[in-house]
Amino acid sequence: MTDRRTLANAIRFLSIDAVQAANSGHPGAPMGMADVAEVLWRGVLSHNPGDPQWPNRDRFVLSNGHGSMLIYSLLHLTGYDVTIDDLKSFRQLHSRTPGHPEFGYTAGIETTTGPLGQGLANAVGMALAERTLAAQFNREQFPIVDHYTYCFAGDGCLMEGVSHEVCSMAGTLGLGKLIVFYDDNGISIDGDVRGWFSDDTPARFESYGWQVIRGVDGHDAVEVETALRTARQEASRPTLICCRTVIGFGSPNLAGSEKTHGAPLGDTEIQATREAMGWSNGPFVIPVDIQSAWDAREKGARAQAEWDQLFADYKQQYPALASEFERRIQGDLPANALADFDRAISDMQAESPNLATRKASQNAIELVAKLLPETFGGSADLGHSNLTVWSDCLANSKENPGGNYVHYGVREFGMCALMNGVALHGGFLPFGGTFLIFMEYARNAVRMAGLMKQRVIYVFTHDSIGLGEDGPTHQPVEQLASLRSTPGLETWRPCDTTETFVAWKEALSYQGPTALALSRQGLANQSRDPQQVANIARGGYVLTKETAALEMILIATGSEVELAVAAADILGGGTRVVSMPSTSRFDQQDDAFRESILPGSCTKRLAIEAGHPDGWYKYVGLNGDVIGMRTFGESGPGADVMKHFGFTVDHIVTKAKAL
């Protein structure tokens, strides 16, 4: 039988060869973690290369995603649809082996990683989703949800602040099926980390409530195996396995150096490494016996067949639960859910409640939670300000693992990155709340949701200077522009209860992330006919139609819509008011519809929004104008602050007449 070091060397040399062929990449991490990966992937990981979407598979996350050739090599060796030709095209345009692992490109990649620390956060979310789904669906003798989440993380991941946020949460929640391997090689891009990273990492994780296994030789398969066995025996705490490794292990002249981190070894050093490691095979050549020892297809098929039988028995005994489980894993909405939402929207319009849109959102959440059992809400310590709590939500905790609401604490970045992991795992619709200004803390996680097309919903309240007394530190200005410019993210800023309900409905059916920007202050519900209500979902529509020849168009969102409506009454019958709750959705409409809303013949256009104005010039044109925010805000009562910055009916009228 082929020895374990030789089996691990298959990872090393596929990685070395691919990076050299691309003349770009990171060979050091795959070389350093190959021995650990061999123990995990050949001995413990429950997965099926023939069905990468098997619901009860273990999840593996490479948080230090720059080492992507590690996972590509593993996927190829174990039998996934990742060929040698795919490895040879590493880092090339449109290849299935991009520079960092990307969800959706390659079978077996569970999440997009690269921004350090976020893969670890995704892993925490996956582990939380697994435990919650198990609590909701498992029955005695039927553990249909029973899998682990494994994560590789390096020094860089643990330096990032998001790692502190999510690992503290993981310990508090007691996520016993989360096992993290710390690649403790002491090297980052700039060299020896001791000059900038002197944390007592094991003590840090012990303080979080983790089981910590210290001082494991990451190049000794027996030690790694023993540590992994110990980790799996701990049910109430996540585990950190501290693996001492050598970056670039096997390279005679570069091992242990930052020179192996992000550059090819070069032909001379590769040949020297082959000789030093006793690897006589040419580039991208894996002998049959080594390939066979790695092949996990038969073992994976058996594991899935056993689960399939378990689920079939479960389905016979619990048919309703089984059907619900299948629906949720597939990500389908319950039958008639959207129709029920449409009826609620009609009711809201008829009732015309005047509410802050954050309160309207809470009413919508009540309906969402009633219609969708997969609802999984939360807030970053602002639940009663964001109004993300609902009447019968139940806090998720170590003691109540089936709860559908997470108290994330003051961890905006961690919350959003963790929600990405929940969404990627499947079975839940995650949403989380904070103030709009604090999306800045979470910005990169929001971006990653857009990149991965994950259905997560951000409830961003206190959406403008109208929040008042908390002042400019809490008053968002540039955040809406940032969100709207994010590919794949749909941003909605509703003006009243009806638009808020429509925004929530659209978020439920959109296969990607949604940001809801919601007011603190109360807003009047606007008058609409059924066609206008239907047009809300198109992102922009005529709210108040001109009664004479069209002379001027006022465009507004959120709390400024009611100001625009009042101004139009003064300006006269030739004025149209367009409400545009979602610019991205409006931009997706056909030319004819957009022309019907903003006809090119009318060049007198004024946009009004208490946010940065630059994004509005594509709608108002060179002859139009924008009332927006070009400075930060001021502290004071909300109404006074709005007046100070010109968000009044009188100022709108004055600016419009000047066009």
d(CA 299, CA 305): 10
Q: Which residue in the block uniquely carries the two structure tokens 């929640």? A: 173
Instruction: Specify the amino acid at residue 201.
Output: T
Residue of 494, 545, 497 whose CA lies nearest to 516: 494
Residue 78, CA distances (Å) to 45, 98, 181, 329, 413 in order: 11, 19, 20, 25, 34
Both structure tokens of 355: 């509410």
Partnered with residue 240 across adjacent β-strands are 180, 212
412 as an active site residue: the answer is yes
Within its chain, how far is the Cα of 257 from the centroid?
Answer: 33
DSSP state of 441: T
* 512-533 b/e (C-beta count within 10 Å ≥ 16 → b): bbbbbbbbbbebbbbebeeebb
- Is the separation of the CB atoms in 507 and 518 below 8 Å? no
- Is the separation of the CB atoms in 184 and 216 below 8 Å? no
Residue of 125, 135, 71 whose CA lies nearest to 425: 125
CA torsion, ordered 260, 264, 265, 267, to nearest 10 deg: 180
d(CA 560, CA 579): 9
Instruction: Specify the amino acid at residue 359.
Output: K
Residue of 203, 77, 227 whose CA lies nearest to 150: 227
CA dihedral over 194, 195, 197, 200, signed as positive or negative: positive
Catalytic annotation, pick one of 269, 412, 560, 609 = 412
- Is the separation of the CB atoms in 511 and 333 below 8 Å? no
Both structure tokens of 428: 């839940």
Q: Largest alpha-carbon pair distance within the chain?
A: 88
CA dihedral over 288, 292, 298, 304, signed as positive or negative: negative
Q: Which residue in the block uniquely carries the two structure tokens 């809303």? A: 597
Residue of 9, 113, 128 whose CA lies nearest to 67: 113
d(CA 459, CA 155): 33
Catalytic residues: 412
